[in-house]
Amino acid sequence: MKVTQQASDNILTLILDGELDASSSVLLDTELAKPEILNYQKVLIDCQRLNYISSAGLGVFISHLQRFQDAGVKLVFFNMQDKVHNVFEILGLDALMTIVPSVTEATAI
Amino acid sequence: MGNAITISCNLRNLKVVRDFVTVFLATYQLSDVLLNQVLVAVDEIVANLIIHANSEDDSQFLKLKLGVEDQMFSIEIEDASNQAYTPSNFRDPDLREYIRQGKKGGVGMALVNRFMDHVEFETGSNHNVCRLYKRLN
């Protein structure tokens, strides 16, 4: 699992590359837990190269969402593969998190 | 290829298991979504057994046996732990509450139950066995 950051203006984009499971999700958790991330207005998660997510990966996002919302930071997922979207959808997380098709929509939110 | 694998109780082996199941199922030409549902369910059980029943002890092992009969995929996952793992107190997760609490765990068994057609647990004095079944057509 590789996490690459791109920051511009008030937007931080995290580009996820690889598989997010119980072994690899610690890295992402560390990134999302950094206090300075709350200085951005939006955190975009580019999921194009996210090939797999388990409950441990979902748990990382679930555990930080309220903190982001309380700080007024929008968390937006985009470019999600169907198989990964299916994992969010089966739990109803697609209704509780913001998932959009492309970076254009993600930026416009 | 063989239809069985033994792994040590190390979370790095989750990827090994997913790759093994992927290769095993390659001949069935499943959709990406269906294959992924099987992988997620297997991954959750293997991770839970490694973490909760075997405390990530590298000297402990899990045996996995896979099969397909009449388009029904099955996998048996067995450890040799004295620590019983039976998620019988499973309840559907309240996601809004989990988000409010910042809860990290608790959705894995919901994924297993929703993605698989049948789930069985068996616990003896020195082992846990989980069997998962999924129709492939």
Comparing CB atoms, the residue among A21, A22, A63 nearest residue B103 is A63
Is A91–B93 a contact, with Cβ atoms under 8 angstroms apart?
yes
Any domain includes A55: yes
The CATH number covering residue A18 comes to 3.30.750.24
- Kindly state whether B111 is in contact with chain A, defined as any CB-CB distance less than 8 angstroms: yes
Instruction: Determine the Cα–Cα distance for residues B32 and A97; give it in Å rounded to an integer.
Output: 23
Residues A38-50 pLDDT 10s: 999 999 999 999 9
Residues in chain A closer than 8 A to B101 (CB atoms): 66
| Host domain of residue B130 | 4-135
pLDDT confidence band for B90 (50 / 70 / 90): low
Residues in chain B closer than 8 A to A21 (CB atoms): 11, 14-15, 18, 43, 47
- The structural domain count of chain A equals 1
| Host domain of residue A82 | 2-104
The CATH number covering residue B62 comes to 3.30.565.10
3-state DSSP assignment of residue A106: helix
- The structural domain count of chain B equals 1
- Residue pair B38/A87 in contact by the 8 Å Cβ criterion: no
Residues B37-69 pLDDT 10s: 999 999 999 999 999 999 999 999 999 999 999
Residues in chain B closer than 8 A to A29 (CB atoms): 104
